[in-house]
Structure 1
Amino acid sequence: MDFEFFVALYVKYGFQISVSVLLIIFYILGKTIFSKIIFLRAHKKEFDVSRALYIRKLINNILLLLCLVLVGATWDVSIKHLSIYFASFFTVAGIGLFAQWSVLSNVTSSLILYFYFPIRIGEKIQIIDGGQVIQGVILDITLFSVKIQDENGNEIYFPNNVAIQKGIVSIKQS
């Protein structure tokens, strides 16, 4: 292949190539910036590193999806034809997971718990759910649930979307 071929290719697709390269650069910069923000927040609030890794993966996947959609739009990928595949996939996923909204709700709630709730792994808490009080030590906070161990050694998994709706009392240990 000679040099003229690449010049002709750039003349024909120069805009798409330039925008695609810029989107890839923004994706890499976005990953770096968000990772720093997430780990600074984790350090400031003394969160567990595994919790920060969950959130970083989630943000990176959202950025990648956004970048792929924008690159596809730049290259005029027909969303009309892709929508059939996406609709089929989400129909099967929705039936397979019984309630797609609750899964997305738990992931979104995980982000809210990370950035706005001051609870940490190893902290003793009470969750007030109506007349019932759940008390224990937080063992783990994942994308879908908060794992709590009560004083009897039982492990309780509380969904993130329910955890942000209920009263959480942080018990100060003396």
Structure 2
Amino acid sequence: MKELLLTFQTEFLWTGICMLALAISRFLSIQAIRKVGRLSEMDRARTRLIIKYVAIGHTALLVSALILIWGVNFREIGLIFSSVFAVIGVALFASWSILSNITAGVILFFTFPYKIGDRIRIHDKELEEDREFVIEDIRAFHVHLRMRSGELLTYPNNLFLQKAVTLASEDAGDPEGSEAL
């Protein structure tokens, strides 16, 4: 055992440094995401989803660093990675819209100015008319919008980045509310 530790002393040291640095980075990233979620009054489920994405990213970074530190033969691992990435590439190409909705979900977490319960209008030619919706839930792939008639519309996240969305005034559709002014 002592011989093993002496032989790979540098690798063990760099592995420890890498794990410690990424653990600190992960902790600080998660704290920052929670603070942004709290300040922006985001739903806890959305915050946990973004934290999960960051954790996966940190894990991938750690695995990459360990591969470099331990000097894995790139020719052998290159064959494995190219085969795996070919299969993943075909799967992602087949489901490109899913990937774009996940990416849009992360972007919306940090930049979406509307919250659950807000009344909005989506200016989209493909919708039958310019209607008001209430944001009921914001998920990783889509947003649940409730129409006045009670119908539930599932709207993809990537379309929120492509279409104009405005905050509907509280009394715009209510003729009785306009009399109160």
Deviates more, 1:28-37 or 1:53-62: 28-37
Cα shift at 1:41: 0.8
User: 1:54 corresponds to which residue?
Assistant: 49
Deviation at 1:52, TM superposition (A): 0.4
Matched-pair contact (CA < 8 Å) for 1:94–1:100: no
Cα separation, partners in 2 of 1:24 and 1:146, compared to 1, 3 Å:
same
- Classify the secondary structure of the residue corresponding to 1:164: helix
Q: Distance in 1 between matches of 2:132 and 2:77?
A: 48
Letter in 2 for 1:160: N
Q: Alignment partner of 2:67: what SS?
A: helix
Q: Which moved more, 1:75-84 or 1:50-59?
A: 75-84
Are 2:145 and 2:153, in contact at CA under 8 Å, matched by a contact in 1?
A: yes
* One-letter amino acid matched to 1:24: M
- CA distance in 1 between counterparts of 2:76 and 2:96 reads 25
Structure 1 runs (4+) deviating above 4 angstroms are 93-98
Q: TM-score, normalised by structure 2?
A: 0.80
Which residue identity is paired with 2:57? I
Match of 2:168 in 1: 171
Larger radius of gyration: 2
Alignment length, in residue pairs? 169
Cα separation, 2, equivalents of 1:100 and 1:90: 15
Shift of 1:106: 1.8
Amino acid at match of 1:16: E
Q: In the alignment, is the contact (CA less than 8 A) between 1:16 and 1:75 conserved in 2? A: yes
CA RMSD, Structure 1 to Structure 2 (Å) = 2.3
Aligned match of 2:179: none
Q: Which runs of 5+ in 2 are unaligned?
A: 172-181
- Equivalent position amino acid for 2:21 in 1: F
Identity among equivalent pairs (%): 27
